Structure 1
Amino acid sequence: MTNRREALKVGAAGLATSMLGGYTRGAADEKTYRVGLIGCGWYGKSDLFRLIQVAPVEVVSLCDPDAKQLAHAAEMTASRQKSGKTPRTYRDYRDMLKEKDLDIVLVGTPDHWHALPMIAAVESGADVYVQKPISHDVLEGEAMVAAARKHGKVVQVGTQRKSTPHLIEAKKRIVEAGLLGKVGRVELCCYYHMRANGDPEVTTPPDYFDYNLWSGPAPLRPFDGMPHVRWWRTFMEYGSGITGDMCVHMLDTVRWMLGLGWPKKISSTGGILVQKTGKSNITDTQEAVFEYPEFDVIWSHRTWGTPPDPDYPWALFIYGEKGTLKASTMRYDFIPQGKGEKIHGDCVFEREKYPEDVTEPEIELNAAPATRLHMRNFLDNVVSRGKPVADIEEGHISTASCLLANIAMKLGRPVVYDPSKRLVVGDDEATRLLRGPYRAPWVHPAEGLG
């Protein structure tokens, strides 16, 4: 007999599907979607294979400046898709998009390469699934939202916590049911030791890797190893630190759970306080405060030491007058004030339904069901032409808030962003930091903003 915990898992999956909509082929959707992937590394392939699992698609194009990675992705894709066909391969995404024969484009590149390919993809006529954080600077994000709206394209952001079955359940059973009462504080955290470091020697890029193209608009750092095997995340030239990488997920989830928009003010402190050796230039310690009218949302990360709650090393904590909700990618717990009932939920896995997950290299098994639901929601809106649960504008608010926290930390003072005017109120220096430098000949997409 199925025990209570297993029943809750099944219930969470069913609730998530019903709340997000379950993608099914129908009269309005008899076509097979032609798909292209830009960025064939770890998460690009993971997103692609989840899409293949839930939709009638034909992957026709793959793009990556690493020829070996590209060939491996093409081989894997041929073995996974129904037709068994090997996709066309491209080094440069611009050549891929010139074909103008794709219905859907997935952007799974490092952060500094999200904006230009996403904008080019909607201009080519495709709907887009783009990984988080959506942009490397705030004005890139503004340009991405503008492009999606101008071309009438559906753009889903890979903040799939909104499609995570047990978190959907927690939102309904705890938040929407009013069990928290009045919320007075929210905390977000990440204590993973995920800051790559070291001092590898400078060498020459291998012939099969176009390092200049991979760097694109970012500075051309001295080559000290294949950057796209997670090494890039440790440099602000390509990413936005742990805050941009991990806070964006939890902030986005809290905003969705509690119906929050733009923070009214953002402040941040931190730096490299412990791990002072090596080349990494992202913070090993940082806190940020996102101020909302009724409470603050407070972020904290350390890439050293131990987490204060070992069960929740990357998590959110919503404190209400009637109780507390703890939630992560793996579980949630509601702890009531007084004698009320404690409520617990676990991550949903779908190993039996999708046995290919178990043998897929580097897959995040706990995230696979969420990504499948996220893809279904994306496709539902491709059909209906509505806004998906992680619409590009929502992804922009969450991303830009984290980027603004980094700006506040750099300047040592709070910032107040005005999205209607695209400036930091009363702070010209901070406003200039909304737009990062682009290496020639690449042109920043903010040039096209009105």
Structure 2
Amino acid sequence: MNQFNRRDFLKGSTALATLASFGLLGMDFKDQAGPIRVALIGTGWYGKSDLFRLIQVADVEVVGLCDPDKNILKAAGDLVATRQKSGKIPPLYENYKELLAKEKPEFVLIGSPDHWHALMAIDALKAGAHVYLQKPISVDVIEGEAILAAARKYKKKVQIGTQRKSTPHLITAKKEVIDKGLLGKISHAEICCYFHMRANGNPPVEPVPDFFNYDLWTGPAPLRPYDGLPHIRWWRTFIEYGNGITGDMCVHMLDTVRWMLKLGWPTQITSTGGIFVQKEGKSNISDTQTAIFEYPELNVVWQHRTWGNPVDPEYPWAFKIFGEKGYLAGSTMKAEFVPYGEGKEKIMFDLVLEKEQYPEDVTEERIELNAAPATRLHMKDWLNAVEKDTLPIADVEEGHISTASCILANISMDLGGRVIKYDPKTRTVIGDPEATAKLRRPYRAPYVHPEPDKV
């Protein structure tokens, strides 16, 4: 068995060329003339994680933090003070619009729940900031079109948190397997998630605590009866705020396959599924779903189950790209090329960890150690795009295609598995007014849905 591990990988000229070809070498943002002014909107788990990765690779002054939960916000401020060079607690805000107006950050990271992504991103762009936006970029397709239009209109760089494109072992696997044609003709890909990650339960309705602005947290989404803090996983279990497991997890692996195979919009999408097993709780997202994203002579097939065993225990959240000469499997943890035929050796691609270089990773609460190196490279790529006026590796248009494709899969499922053919030029589902109407979710008053032609 051949194996690419980090020590050997970094010694080789092929490896260096691989990283260089993706714009990941020669970038040092620690020696700037002065710190970049950064704000974080949404100071929960992953928002802070993104911010700390940026602090690790650039000279940063955090000029504002925003969250409708006063307890989380204060804790984030105290923690940021221990991580940034100035040692200062940043100004704390409940309302992100006030932060943007008063602090005028150059860079804004958005780690809010999905239903707030579009309004926050567009407002940050209008305020003159470059944006790092967590995936999925939107909860409906027209929101995504509006974010893309705003990014282009205001000439700002928007990096989407689909950081598999910046994952070292996947970059190497793409270069060594896909780009070198080891798979031969590729005509099928499978992507999946079998994590038991669908929060489910029946907590009682209760009074909203005084430290939490639930109305503001809900924003443009429907106002559900308050049944406990929605942080961590609870909000993700409701379609009011996102697009379920497909919107959360499929977007990563579909985006990865699209990047590796240079795919754009699917020609058509179909999906079926529903709540087949976990019926006992309040959760209204599917626990079982299959989607087919069709391209010429190539199908990308998604499947998730939040119950039972994974199909392949080695790859419970992953992609597999099949060619006539073998297949490439990949996840956040590893990748491997499995050639077709007896007696041929697999090629393994190891996970890169940087615990020695960044020892603070080891003690950071809830950090995804396997994702930290990728996020650091993703941040470097974003800053490099700003500096050189190029598009980042996870540009908003690519993030929009991946996000919208997952949303369209949910629309297909909701319409009984109907074929969905989306036309991004007309922003309609071809020949299907009912599906077209689902491209734009209704907003709760007084919030107004963004329109691509009016940003």
Equivalent position to 1:176, from 176, 179, 193: 179
Unaligned runs of 5+ in 2: none
Alignment-derived partner of residue 24 in structure 1: 28
User: Identity over the aligned pairs, expressed in percent?
Assistant: 62
Q: Which residue of 2 aligns with 1:7?
A: 7
**RMSD of the alignment, in Å?**
1.6
Deviations 1:240-260 (A, max 9, x none): 000000000000000000000
Which stretches in structure 1 are left out of the alignment for 5+ residues? none
Counterpart CA distance in 1 for 2:281 and 2:17 is: 46
Cα deviations by residue, 1:106-128 (Å, 9 ceiling, x for unpaired): 00000001000100001000000
Deviation (angstroms), 1:229: 2.3
Contact conserved, 1:36 with 1:61, CA < 8 A, in 2?
Answer: yes
Residue 208 of structure 1 pairs with residue 208 of structure 2: no
In the TM superposition, 1:111-190 aligns within 5 A as 111-190=114-193
> 2:324 is matched by which residue type in structure 1?
E
Given that residues 19 and 171 in structure 2 are in contact (C-alpha distance below 8 angstroms), is that contact kept between their aligned partners in structure 1? no
Please give the alpha-carbon distance, in whole angstroms, between the structure 1 residues aligned to 2:226 and 2:29.
47
Cα distance between partner residues in 2 of 1:383 and 1:226: 40
Alignment of 1:313-324 (within 5 A): 313-324=316-327
The whole-number CA distance in structure 2 between the counterparts of 1:275 and 1:11 is: 49
Matched, 1:330 2:333: yes
Q: What CA distance in whole angstroms lies between the structure 2 residues aligned with 1:4 and 1:169?
A: 9
What is the rounded CA distance, in whole Å, between the counterparts of 1:91 and 1:290 in structure 2? 40
Matches within 5 A, 1:252-271: 252-271=255-274
Query: Corresponding residue for 1:376?
Result: 380
**Does residue 443 in structure 1 map to residue 448 in structure 2?**
yes
Report the Cα distance in structure 2 between the residues aligned to 1:376 and 1:14, rounded to whole angstroms: 16
Superposition pairs of residues 66-81 of structure 1, within 5 angstroms: 66-81=69-84
The CA distance in 1 between the partners of 2:80 and 2:34, in whole Å, is: 20
Q: 2:351 aligns with which of 347, 369, 375?
A: 347
Q: Tell me the amino acid that sits aligned with residue 98 of structure 1.
A: A
For residue 417 of structure 1, report the CA deviation from its aligned partner: 0.1
Matched, 1:283 2:286: yes
Does structure 2 retain, via aligned residues, the 8 Å contact 1:273–1:285? yes
Task: Give 3-state SS (helix, strand or coil) of 1:249's partner.
Answer: helix
Distance 1:416 1:376, change over 3 A: same
* 2:362 aligned residue: 358
Counterpart amino acid of 2:57?
A: V
For 1:200, the aligned partner's letter is P
| Alignment partner of 2:426 out of 421, 425, 433 | 421
Task: After TM superposition, list the pairs within 5 Å mapping 1:199-238 onto structure 2.
Answer: 199-238=202-241
Aligned partners of 2:30 and 2:57 also within 8 Å: no
Q: In 2, distance between residues paired with 1:4 and 1:322?
A: 20
Contact kept? 1:38, 1:64, Cα under 8 Å: yes
Report SS of the residue matched to 1:35. Answer: strand
8 Å contact kept, 2:66–2:95: yes
Residue by residue, what CA displacement relative to the aligned partner does 1:247-282 show, whole Å, maximum 9, x if unpaired?
000000000000000000000000000111100000
How far the C-alpha of 1:16 sits from its partner, in A, is 6.1
User: Shift in Å at residue 449 of structure 1?
Assistant: 4.1
How far apart are the structure 1 equivalents of 2:11 and 2:389? 29
1:241 matched residue in structure 2? 244
2:30, 2:253 → 1: CA distance? 35
Structure 2 vs 1, CA of residues 447 and 326 (structure 1 numbering), >3 Å: closer, same or farther? Answer: closer
Contact 1:8 1:345 in 2 (8 A): no
Q: How many residues align?
A: 447
398, 403, 411: which one pairs with 1:399? 403
Residues 8-58 of structure 1 show CA distances to partners (whole Å, capped at 9, x for unaligned) of: 46469856642333322499x534210000000010000000000000110
Change (3 A) 1:216 1:241: same
Decide which moves more: 4-13 or 409-418.
4-13
Distance 1:109 1:344 in 2: 36
Contact 1:66/1:208, CA 8 A, preserved across alignment:
yes
Letter of the 1:80 counterpart? R
Greater alpha carbon shift after TM alignment, 18-27 vs 52-61: 18-27
Amino acid paired to 1:418: D
Structure 2 distance, partners of 1:302, 1:229, is 20
Residue of structure 2 aligned with 1:55, choices 50, 54, 58 = 58
